[in-house]
Structures are given as C-alpha cells and as structure tokens.
Chain A
Amino acid sequence: MAEFDTPTLKPYPEIPPIEIGVMAHSKPYVAKEDIQQKIGFPGELIDNWQQVAIDKMGELVNNSRALRVFLDSCVKCGACTDKCHYYLGTSDPNNMPVARQDLFRSVYRRYYTLAGKYFPRLVGARDMDQGVIDEWYSYFHQCSQCRRCSVYCPYGIDTAEISMAAREIMDTIGVGQKYCNEIIGKAQTIGNNLGLPEPALADTLEGLEEDIEEETGVTVRMPLDVKGADILLITPSADFFAEPHVDGLIGYAKVFHQAGMSWTLSSYASEAANFGMFIGSYENMQVLALRIREAALELGVKRIVFGECGHAWRVAYNFLNTLAGPFDFLDSRYPMPQHICEVTYDLLQRNALKMDPSANDDMVLTFHDSCNIARGSRMGDFEGGQFVIPREVIKASCNHFVDMPADTTQEATFCCGGGGGLLTDDLVELRVKGALPRMEALKQVVDHHGVTHLAAICAICKSQFSKILPYYGFEMDQVVSIHQLVSNAIQLGGEQ
C-alpha cells in the first residue's frame, strides 16, 4: 500500500484547488475468474469487449429513461463541483461529479447522439477504448453513490445511477471489482456477506445471550430459524461479527424482549446488505432479495424488520417489493418493510419502553445521517421521518445530544467515505481522504460542544469510522450504534 498523507482538519471547510490526476492510481483489486463467473459475469476481459460494452450502454439507456435524461441534461453549471467528499478530500478534478459523469457521458455521446456520431470532436465525444475502461475502473470506484451531488444539481442528475451503470458495463465485459463481487457470491451461496455458516451464527448468538444475561441478569433471547415467529429480523451480518455493530444487535434484542414481541433471525437470509445495488446489477440484487422472501415464507412470519444498514434500507424500502414481491402473505397492518428505528420509536411514543438516559451520561452524542437513508428512502409516515426518527430514538436514550453543522446533516449529509462498495483495504487512501468533510464537521462539535461519540445507523459507516477515526486523531471506539445507546438505557424486566 502506497504511503499517503492524511488531510489536515481545518476550522472551516475549504474548497481545494484542483490537482489533475492525483488519484488516477487509486484502483481496487480486480475480481478473478471464479468470483466473476459465480455471479454470472465473464471471468476476464472478453475478446469483442468494445462492441459488447457499447451495446450494453445502449441497453441501459434504453431501459432507463432516468439514465438517459441524466446523460442528456447536464448544462455544466458547476453547482456540483464542490459537493463530493472525494473531491474535497483528494483535489482530483475527476472526482467533481460533473467530471465523473463526463467520463461516461463522452462515450454515450459518441454512440448514441447524432452530433457525437458525426462530429465527435466538436461535442467532446470519445471512442470506447482501453483508456476509457482504465479511467472508469479508477474513478467509478471513487464514487460511493451517496447522491449528495444530486441534491444540489438543478436538474437532479444522479451520479450514483451513472456510476452503477458504468460498473455494470465493466462487469458485463469481464472487469469486476474483487471486494463487491466476492461478497455477492458469498451472500448468494451462504446467505451473508461474511460467509458465516449456520453453526457459527448459532454459536455467536448463543454467546451473546450469555453476555446479556451475565450483564443484566435477564434472559434475553436471540432466536434463530424459529418457525411461527411474528417478526423476521434482517440485519447486516456485520452485526454478528464486528464492533460496535454487535452492541446494536443486542439493543434490537432487548427492544423485542421488553416489548414482548416474538421474533427470529434466519440463517438462510442472514444478510440485510445487498451489494447487487452497488454494481448496478438488477439480477444479482434480485437473487439476494428473493432469499428474504423465501425465508419469510419458510418461517411463516407476519412482519419483516430491518436492522441498522444504510443501503439495505434503500433496497428494502424502494425495491424489495419489485424485486421479490408481492408480500401479501404478511400482516398488512404493519409497514412492509419496517426499520428497527421505526419499531423502537413507535414503542417509545406509546410509552411501552422504560428508558434511563443517564445510562449514557458518559457520552455527548452526535449523529451521522447515512446517505442511503437520508437521500434514498424514508422512515415513518411523515416527511423527513428518516431524520427525525433516529434522532428521537437517540434522544430518548441519552441526555446529551448535539447535531453537527446543518450543511453536513440530513439531506446534506456527507458520506462516511466508505459507502457504495468501497469499504475495502485496497482503497484505504480514498477512504481516509473521503472522510475529510465528515471529520471536519465532527471536529467542530467536539471542539465547541464537547461531543465524545458519533452514533451511526449503518454497518458500513460503523466499520469505516472505526478504521478512519484514528487517522484524524480520534479514537476508534468513538463510533457507536444507535441501538447500542438504546441497549444501555433500556430498563429490562418489571412492569410493561
């Protein structure tokens, strides 16, 4: 891994002067043959790849009116240029959203617009060649598909869609990213991104039950594959494996326990994450979504609840019904799907949970809105519910909460730096640099309001911050799960 300098935190964010090509070296490992083939892509660069790539692009723009409009409508106004965390952290102009789009748009123009077909040079159109693919591989793996730029674009152009399309075209010609594609393969065969088989999952859950009992004296169950349970909990497998994720999982279990809800996890659908979205592959997304449907039918549940995972919630909220519906076998009195924060929020609204917020008095909290929840979905039945509900759950669990600056939260939230299938060690320079805007915002509330911990609502954000915080002079354990706070504050046992 090449050495790099961690950016310095400034008291006020600055838009850096451009440095052309400084991140051109950043490329994730390429997926090997077996990984590619397992999920339906060619094992290596195919012979007639130029034509296949051009045809695939045509197919994508024909199938998605949105993609075509995004490619046709940019007027180069520049509103997006200083909105991407990767540009702000790296200074590479190809990380300005408009420039990233143009890497794709220039090829689209050449083959799918009249002017580009006849006068390519006049309209900045270029041929599909090896240089294009090399540039795409680098810079479409420097986009976390967070959609912050689309909020500021007067036309609403969504770079995430273009980045997904570029990745799909690359996969189609045999150029895939190792991290994402290996994980998709594992989730499709074993049931989760980690490759955690049923016996290991059962053993892990049993250990957690022991821990809770030891700590609280109360028996709180972590049921697995229980037929006839009311609720199927679909949560990121990182919740079983990593910290602080697991403390969130313990929090969900305590909420269900205290509310007297019957629930279960599934070893067959033991993953909320759906990396099929990151590579723009509808087919792969569907395979993973169908596992959830099958598990729900097999276990005979009435409701499906999702744990703390950003893009999983976007896939669930927006696409699950299209991918794997209809879910008419579930109890229609409950939202389908439902987020664990909605469940906890509803219980709090009804005074069904007794909380002691002083249990978290050793912390002053702030909250990092996850991109896919903030800009890709909603919670509750009111506008902005995805901002209000997690904050209300946090505030019910602690006495000290401060928001970060308004231009870095809610709809304007910055990516953690590791979303969109980039949470891999071979991209650590990009991840560190891309975290700069969030770290600057955090530093502000740390310095001015004594904030000690950052609460997160997504497995990727939690892992990314654990890794990145130390680069900026913070401690790795300054990131916590929302339901970890709930877990600390919730009063178990007694009258309900």
Chain B
Amino acid sequence: MAIELEGKSYETDEEGYLVNLSDWNDQLANEMAKADGAVLDENHWEVINFLRDYYEEYQIAPAVRVLTKAVGKKLGKDKGTSKYLYELFPYGPAKQACKYAGLPKPTGCV
C-alpha cells in the first residue's frame, strides 16, 4: 500500500502506517486524516507534535497517561483526559494519532 501525494509515492503497511518514518511531513498527516474523513485542527497538531518530540527522544510512543498529562499541562487540565483525546482521535489516541504522526503502531495488549 502507498499514499500518493504530489507525484510522489509513500509506502505504508496494511493499516496505513508509514513504513519509513523519515517520509513524514505535515501534508502527509493531513492526507492520512482525510482518508479517515477527519480534518486536523490545531488541537490535533498539539498532540501530533508532542508524539513526534517524544518519539524522537524515546523511540516509542508515550503511554496514554504521559500523553494526557502533557496535553493537560499545555492546554489546561480539563483537556488532560483520555476522554478529550478520544474526542480528537475516535479510533484511539495511541493508534490513530501515531498514524498521523508517522510513528509505528503501538503493539501488544493495548
């Protein structure tokens, strides 16, 4: 599978996650969201940017609690909840947000 964007082709796995993490760019994220019928606004981007920063440091997506805490610090305590993250990413913040951020899908019993 692949995403076609501006004449270039980006390889993805069966579930639409980028195969090469270095392929990622803003436009690709928007394109992936579009395929799911979603539009990314600044709230989504806050999360996506945090995920990318965290991944760069730790080579793994943050735990749900680490993410909610970080979002809470940045956007206010009422938004530092899984509920808020599920409103933004209805397929699950860990999985859907990772996909748009160009990170691998978290595996295991999650």
The answer on a CB contact under 8 Å between A425 and B15 is yes
A241 and B95 in contact, given A29-B14, A197-B58, A207-B65 (Cβ under 8 angstroms): no
A459 to chain B, nearest CB (A): 4
Nearest residue (CB) in A for B70 is: A207
A411 to chain B, nearest CB (A): 24
- Contact among A207, A240, A426 with B15 in the assembled complex (CB-CB below 8 Å): A426
Per-residue CB contact flags for chain B residues 80-108 toward chain A (1 = under 8 Å, else 0) read: 00110010000010110000000000111
Q: Which of B45-64 contact A (CB under 8 A)?
A: 57-60, 62-64
**B109 interface residue per 8 A CB criterion:** yes
Contacts of B15 in A (CB 8 A): 29, 425-426
- Contact among B14, B59, B63, B109 with A236 in the assembled complex (CB-CB below 8 Å): B109
- Partner-binding segment picked from A140-148, A198-206, A216-224, A440-448: A198-206
**A238 interface residue per 8 A CB criterion:** yes
**A243 interface residue per 8 A CB criterion:** yes
The answer on a CB contact under 8 Å between A242 and B94 is yes
**B66 interface residue per 8 A CB criterion:** yes
Q: How many chain A residues touch B (Cβ–Cβ < 8 Å)?
A: 39
A68 to chain B, nearest CB (A): 32
Contacts of B107 in A (CB 8 A): 179, 182-183, 186, 193-195
With the chains together, A199 CA to B83 CA distance in Å?
27
**B35 interface residue per 8 A CB criterion:** no
Nearest residue (CB) in B for A462 is: B109
**B110 interface residue per 8 A CB criterion:** yes
With the chains together, A329 CA to B28 CA distance in Å?
54
A241 and B64 in contact, given A193-B109, A425-B15, A460-B109 (Cβ under 8 angstroms): yes
With the chains together, A426 CA to B92 CA distance in Å?
15
With the chains together, A209 CA to B22 CA distance in Å?
34
With the chains together, A186 CA to B65 CA distance in Å?
22
With the chains together, A426 CA to B15 CA distance in Å?
8
**B69 interface residue per 8 A CB criterion:** yes
A180 to chain B, nearest CB (A): 10
Contacts of B106 in A (CB 8 A): 194, 241
Nearest residue (CB) in B for A475 is: B83
**A192 interface residue per 8 A CB criterion:** yes
- Contact among B57, B82, B94, B108 with A192 in the assembled complex (CB-CB below 8 Å): B108
Contacts of B66 in A (CB 8 A): 203-204, 207
**A211 interface residue per 8 A CB criterion:** yes
A273 and B108 in contact, given A29-B14, A208-B65, A242-B64 (Cβ under 8 angstroms): yes
The answer on a CB contact under 8 Å between A238 and B95 is no
With the chains together, A183 CA to B110 CA distance in Å?
12
With the chains together, A196 CA to B60 CA distance in Å?
6
Q: Which of A161-187 contact B (CB under 8 A)?
A: 178-179, 182-183, 186
A-binding residues in B (CB < 8 A)? 14-15, 57-60, 62-66, 69, 82-83, 86, 92, 94-95, 106-110
Listed by A's residue number, 7 A-B pairs whose Cβ atoms lie within 8 Å are A194-B110, A207-B65, A207-B66, A211-B69, A238-B110, A241-B94, A459-B109
B-binding residues in A (CB < 8 A)? 29, 178-179, 182-183, 186, 192-197, 199-200, 203-204, 207-208, 211, 236-238, 240-243, 246, 273, 309, 423, 425-426, 459-460, 462-463, 467, 476-477
Extra 5 A-B pairs, beta carbons < 8 Å, given A237-B108, A425-B95: A194-B108, A203-B58, A238-B108, A238-B110, A463-B110
